[in-house]
Structure 1
Amino acid sequence: MVALDIVHASNAQLRELGPGLVALFVGGTSGIGEYTAKAFVRNTVSPHVYLVGRNAAAAERIIHECKALNHDGNVEFLKADVTELGEVDRVCQEVGKREKHINLLVQSQGNMTLKGRDENSEGLDRKFTLNYYSRMRFITNLLPLLRNATSTPPHFSRILSILSAGTEGRVNFEDLELKNTFSRMRCATHTIVMNDFMAEEFAAREPRTSFIHSAPLAVNTGLARELPLWARLPIKALSPLMAPFMVGADETGARQLFIATSGLFPPAKPAGDSVLAAGVPVPKGLSVAKGANGKVGSGGYLVNWNGEITGKEALLKEYHDKGVGKIVWEHTMGIFDRVEKINQAKADVK
């Protein structure tokens, strides 16, 4: 476990990257995304931050609070329902009009719905899309801006997907999108494993950027508000008993920011001459982490809430031997092609 004082010291060094870092927090209007965004604003010089979410009132509150944390920070809200990939595309186009580069992309979008399969207008389950497809679509769309960040000082380019690294399970490769075999448990399992392998696949293709899938442990994110009353009441009643086993808001934000920025998790081939291209310098006594493919410093990492490498080794090795990375990559790109055609047909009708 990386001690919390080491985490805070590392985060404070983000100031050494200089002014004007650009970061996008999808799911940044509540919970873990909010906590991590605030930690970023607190520890950087004149940052430019985008919060992507549905709740304008929450965004207004967070922007006000971030101003108190860093008077020189610029925080903006982009309203979007990213349960649909068309909305993801729209937001990415808007960001592309405003920015020439992005240094950090953090994604924590999700919900706690108890519904069964709930298809959007693109034929994808909304929960599955939040946990997986929207995240990969943001990455794919924003890669040009992330690449641009590696070409100019401080050459810093990182991506963090916060879900549940280390809790992998068996996947149904005959129905990866769970069109016919959906359940909430299968949705969790599929999206966790697919986030794992896409971190590795992207890292192999984009060696100047780090790709990380992390787990936050138990955090009071407020997502329970989306549940029906009969489900919210037991959670509220049990909260005091669960408190000793949960990570607080400030610690969660600090730890996820550390995971997103530390040199423990560098790109495979950091760009430029600056040591900061690999991330904030590795704390004394620690060393560069082993990547998801088993190689130290691979650029794609599975990280637990406490900064330690995670993942069910036996299962992941089995899946590596089966070429699951290629399977998941091709499936994902196929979904994107399919949805693009659906959305283009909608546009043609209009």
Structure 2
Amino acid sequence: MVALDIVHASNAQLRELGPGLVALFVGGTSGIGEFTLKAFVQNTISPRVYLVGRSASAAERIIKECEGLNKDGKVEFLQADVTELAEVDRVCKEIGTREKTLNLLVQTQGNFTFAGRQENDEGLDRKMTLNYYSRMCFIHNLRPLLRNGAASPPHFSRTLSVLSPGSERRVDLDDLELKNSYSGMKCANHTVLMNDLMTGEFASREPGTTFVHSFPAGVNTGLARGLPIWARVPLKVLTPLLSPFLVSADETGARQLFIATSGIYPPAKPVEGSPFATGTPVPKTLNVMKGGDGQTGSGGYLVNWNGEITGNKILDEYREKGASKTVWEHTMGIFDRVDKANQGKVDAGSS
């Protein structure tokens, strides 16, 4: 376990990267995303932060609180419902008109629901889109900006997807989209494993950027607001009893920021001669971590809430059978299919 004092010391060193770091937080209007965003703003010099979410009122509150944490920071809200990939594309295009580089992409979008498959207009389940497709779409679309982040001083480029590595279960590689056999549990299993495998796939294609899938542990994030009242009420009663076992908001934000920025999770091929291309300096008591493929410093990491590497034998089995390529091809195929369908709607509307 990485001690909390080491986490705070490492986060404080983000100021050494200089002013003007650019970050995007998706799902940052509440919970883990909000906590991590605030930690980032507090520990950086004149950052430019884009906050993507649905709630304008929550964003307004967070922006005001960030002004108190760092008067020189700039946080801007981009309202979007990222259960649809068309919205992801729109936000990415908007950021591309404003920024040439991106240093950090943090994604925590998700919901907690007992509902069955709920398809959007693009034919994708909304929960799967939040947990997986939208996250990979943001990374895919923003690769040029992340690449520029790695190429430009301070040569720092990272992505963090917060979900649940270490909880891998078996999945159906013939029905990755879960069109034929959807359930809440299968959705969780598929999106966790697919996030795992894509960290390695992106890391191999973008060696100047670090890709991380992390587990936050138990945190009171407010996700239960999406549940029916019969489920919300008992959960609300139980939450105070569970509080000794939950990670606090401040600690969650600090630890996720450490995972997103520490040099113990470097990209596969950081820019040579740049002291911060691997992240904040590696603490003397720690070493560079192994990636999800078992290779030290490979650029794609599966990280537990306490900073340690996680994973299990099931994930190893899928890697050995070539599932990484299967998931990559499936995902790129989905993006192509949805893009063509959405463009068809635009063409039909303009004719």
TM-score norm. by structure 2 comes to: 0.99
Q: CA RMSD in A?
A: 0.6
CA drift of 1:272 comes to: 4.1
SS at match of 2:39: helix
Residue 117 of structure 2 aligns with which residue?
117
SS at match of 2:160: strand
Question: In 2, distance between residues paired with 1:17 and 1:275?
Answer: 9
Residue 222 of structure 1 aligns with which residue?
222
Counterpart residue type for residue 325 of structure 1: S
Alpha carbons 1:303, 1:310 under 8 Å: kept: yes
SS at match of 2:137: helix
Question: In 2, distance between residues paired with 1:335 and 1:208?
Answer: 26
Alpha carbons 1:216, 1:256 under 8 Å: kept: yes
Residue 341 of structure 1 aligns with which residue?
340
Percentage of identical aligned residues = 72
Counterpart residue type for residue 14 of structure 1: L
1:219-298 equivalences in 2 (<5 Å): 219-298=219-298
SS at match of 1:277: coil
Question: In 2, distance between residues paired with 1:84 and 1:320?
Answer: 29
Counterpart residue type for residue 329 of structure 1: W
Question: Deviating runs (4+, > 6 A) in structure 1?
Answer: none
Q: In structure 1, list runs of 5 or more residues that go unmatched.
A: none
SS at match of 1:78: strand
SS at match of 1:100: coil
236-245 vs 287-296, greater mean Cα deviation: 236-245
Residue 133 of structure 2 aligns with which residue?
133
Question: In 2, distance between residues paired with 1:321 and 1:283?
Answer: 33
Question: In 2, distance between residues paired with 1:303 and 1:115?
Answer: 29
CA drift of 1:254 comes to: 0.2
Alpha carbons 1:45, 1:73 under 8 Å: kept: yes
SS at match of 2:277: helix
Alpha carbons 1:211, 1:300 under 8 Å: kept: yes
Question: In 2, distance between residues paired with 1:260 and 1:61?
Answer: 24
SS at match of 1:160: strand
Question: In 1, distance between residues paired with 2:135 and 2:249?
Answer: 23
SS at match of 2:105: strand
Q: String of CA shifts for 1:86-131, please: whole Å, max 9, x gaps.
A: 0000000000000010000000000012210000000000000000
CA drift of 1:11 comes to: 0.1
Residue 44 of structure 1 aligns with which residue?
44
Residue 174 of structure 1 aligns with which residue?
174
Residue 315 of structure 1 aligns with which residue?
314
Alpha carbons 1:17, 1:276 under 8 Å: kept: yes
Q: In structure 2, list runs of 5 or more residues that go unmatched.
A: none
TM-score norm. by structure 1 comes to: 0.99
Q: How many residues get paired?
A: 349
Q: String of CA shifts for 1:238-264, please: whole Å, max 9, x gaps.
A: 111111110000000000000000001
